[in-house]
Amino acid sequence: MRPRTQGVLLVNLAVLFFGFPGVIGKVLPLSPVQLTWLRVFLASLALLVVLLIQKVKPQVPGHGPRLLLLAAGFLLAFHWTAFFRAVQVSTVAVGLLSYSTFPVFTVFLEPWLLRTKFRRSYLYFAVLCFLGVGLMVPEFSLSNRIFQGVVWGILSGLSFALLAIINRMLSPGHSSLVLAFYQDSLAMIFLLPLFLSQPGPLPLGTVNAGLILFLGLVCTAGAHTIFIRGLRFIEARLSSLISSLEPVYGIIFGYLFLGELPGFRTVAGGLLILASVVIISWKSPGLGS
């Protein structure tokens, strides 16, 4: 198999797995905090095993990068907690599509935080994106569950944009798997007090335990490892475009496993969001990497 074809298949497979957490978060009778803590706990263990197998030493970066890692761990914890909250209060489609606004936040934050050049054309795509977000919301009221889902999804996207920028700052000279291991581990530590304060025992029957293992080991650690391997063989622009398929896969899974069929407003708004995100990803490759 040609290396580029292998890269496309690996990244696509990883993005396919990235599309499952929304459905799992909707099915499992767990709070967003419980879901996120179990996810990062299992992912950090799995990534540690991968690092040991590959004989990569998870060396702690210097003082400056350590502070960035702490911020990244906090943002990761908030990002996943907000995402699970979004899909639980609304639908998988609404949660995924509103989270998918993160490239818009990234291209506006990068010039400020990384001193990169800002393109005015991004303003048009940002307007297009948030027109799509507004179209999905039937009523701008905190009592409306779709509006709640959009707010949590946008917060998830904003925190992921900040996380992506920090990872760009950390990536030179550091292994992506090592960074992922530390970020998952720190997210686990940050969320531990909230996790322990959750009322009642965890409803971990056989099916629930299997879904949690699938979420942490396959959809997080495994997918991340596959994604990083695929990036070796394809350009960043192509990987960003493939990553744009995550909400598409997630919405399909939501329909297949939950019977959630997006309404006209969600479909129309989602098309505007995805169109703007695809264009921005093409113009600024590597945003989701």
pLDDT in tens, 37-66: 999 999 999 999 989 998 888 776 666 688
How many other C-beta atoms lie within 10 A of the C-beta of residue 67? 11
CB 128 within 8 A of CB 275: yes
Going by pLDDT thresholds of 50, 70 and 90, the confidence category of residue 201 is: confident
pLDDT (average), residues 90-103? 94
pTM: 0.92
239 CA to centre of own chain: 15
pLDDT (average), residues 101-126? 85
Tell me the C-alpha to C-alpha distance, in Å, between residue 108 and each of 92, 132, 164: 26, 18, 13
Q: What is the three-state SS of 215-256?
A: HHHHHHHHHHHHHHHHHCCCCHHHHHHHHCCHHHHHHHHHHH
- Percentage of the chain modeled with pLDDT above 70: 96
Question: What's the DSSP call for residue 126?
Answer: H
| pLDDT at 145 (0 to 100) | 95
Predicted confidence (pLDDT) at residue 172 exceeds the cutoff of 90: no
Burial class (CB in 10 A: 0-12, 13-18, 19+), 168: middle
Kindly report, residue by residue over 239-250, the tens digit of the pLDDT. Answer: 877 888 999 999
pLDDT (average), residues 2-18? 91
| pLDDT at 56 (0 to 100) | 85
| CA–CA separation, 19 and 250 (whole Å) | 4
| CA–CA separation, 24 and 281 (whole Å) | 27
Predicted confidence (pLDDT) at residue 186 exceeds the cutoff of 90: yes
- Percentage of the chain modeled with pLDDT above 90: 61
